[in-house]
Amino acid sequence: MTDPEAGAVARRALPLLDLTDLGETCTETKIDALCRDARSGGVAAICVWPRFVTQGARALRGTGIRIATVINFPDGGEDCARATDDTAEALRDGADEIDLVLPYRALLRGDAATARDMVEAVRDTCGAAILKVILETGELADPARIREAGRLALEAGADFLKTSTGKSPVSATPEAAEAMLAEIRACRRPAGLKISGGVRSVADAGTYLDLADRIMGAGWVGPKTFRLGASSLFGALMQAREF
């Protein structure tokens, strides 16, 4: 990728970024730094642990940068009541977007109802907030199964499908993204895609942007339909956008 090509990808990708810190050693100081970076980069959102939602919402008030947090993360458990309680608390604290891990192990053992029930319950709790459902595509593995999970999540009310927690051995892949985009295209209402985990270079971002353009058409990609969940990518994008 030439410098001008990288610059074009970076300028396109930065407004789509969910700037993320879901590290085990995250601190209030790191959240302050994340919010400063979010402002300087003009990103779509920050994505943080629930305990940092209030801090992020306060720091970014009035900027238009949204606050996302994770629920049922990263294990994708099956405690629906806890997921809805945690969602309600996050929304009270100022979250605009909820990234919910699908109970993918239930789906793998043939129990689609448990997975569907959680998405529907959290959807009901979210109200006007955006609901992104994390499929954990590296664990689902098979494109047909990824499509099944994506279809279930969309039918249950997801606004976005998201690839991964970033905590599994295999995170986002173009093959998984293609399967998810096929379900989004087939959906009878608008829905979006979030690529998360394993996006480490400007070229990686370009690969996923090109894929979305090819499947969904020119003009589809925007902050309301496409996000990149990454933290290590931010510096590279900021540097490349100057070319």
pTM > 0.95: yes or no: yes
Mapping DSSP onto H, E and C, the string for the chain reads CCHHHHHHHHHHHHHHEEEEECCCCCCHHHHHHHHHHHHHHCCCEEEECHHHHHHHHHHCCCCCCEEEEEECCCCCCCCHHHHHHHHHHHHHHCCCEEEEECCHHHHHCCCHHHHHHHHHHHHHHHCCCEEEEECCHHHHCCHHHHHHHHHHHHHCCCCEEECCCCCCCCCCCHHHHHHHHHHHHHCCCCCEEEEECCCCCHHHHHHHHHHHHHHHCCCCCCCCCEEEEECCHHHHHHHHCCC
For 108, half-sphere exposure in the C-beta direction (CA atoms, 13 angstrom radius) is: 15
Q: Are 19 and 43 in contact (CB under 8 A)?
A: yes
Instruction: Determine what percent of the chain is predicted with pLDDT higher than 70.
Output: 100
**Strand 160-162 and strand 45-48: pairing?**
unpaired
> For 103-112, how does the pLDDT look when each residue is reduced to its tens digit (9 = 90+)?
999 999 999 9
Examine residue 65 and state whether it is found in any structural domain, yes or no: yes
What is the residue type of 58?
Answer: R
Q: Of the residues 96, 132, 162, 204, which is catalytic?
A: 162
Q: What is the CATH number of the domain that holds 233?
A: 3.20.20.70
> For 82-100, how does the pLDDT look when each residue is reduced to its tens digit (9 = 90+)?
999 999 999 999 999 999 9
Question: ∠ CA(34), CA(199), CA(134), 5° rounding?
Answer: 80
Is 162 tagged catalytic?
yes
Examine residue 131 and state whether it is found in any structural domain, yes or no: yes
Examine residue 243 and state whether it is found in any structural domain, yes or no: no
pLDDT for residue 54? 98
Residues 169, 198: Cα–Cα separation, whole Å: 10
Examine residue 52 and state whether it is found in any structural domain, yes or no: yes
Q: Is the pLDDT of residue 198 over 90?
A: no
Q: Which of 88, 78, 80 is nearest to 69 (CA)?
A: 88
pLDDT for residue 83? 98
pLDDT for residue 50? 98
Characterise 141 by phi-psi region: left (phi > 0), alpha (psi -120 to 50), beta (else).
Answer: left
Q: Are 114 and 105 in contact (CB under 8 A)?
A: no
pLDDT for residue 1? 84
- Model confidence at 212, pLDDT cuts 50, 70, 90, reads very high
Is 159 tagged catalytic?
no
User: Into how many domains does the chain fold?
Assistant: 1
**Strand 160-162 and strand 66-71: pairing?**
unpaired
Examine residue 20 and state whether it is found in any structural domain, yes or no: yes
Residues 159, 99: Cα–Cα separation, whole Å: 10
Q: Of the residues 21, 86, 93, 194, which is catalytic?
A: 194
Q: Is the pLDDT of residue 172 over 90?
A: yes
Q: Is the pLDDT of residue 174 over 90?
A: yes
Which range of residues forms the domain containing residue 211? 3-238
Is 194 tagged catalytic?
yes
pLDDT for residue 15? 98
Residues 60, 79: Cα–Cα separation, whole Å: 31
Examine residue 228 and state whether it is found in any structural domain, yes or no: yes
Q: Of the residues 86, 99, 159, 204, which is catalytic?
A: 99
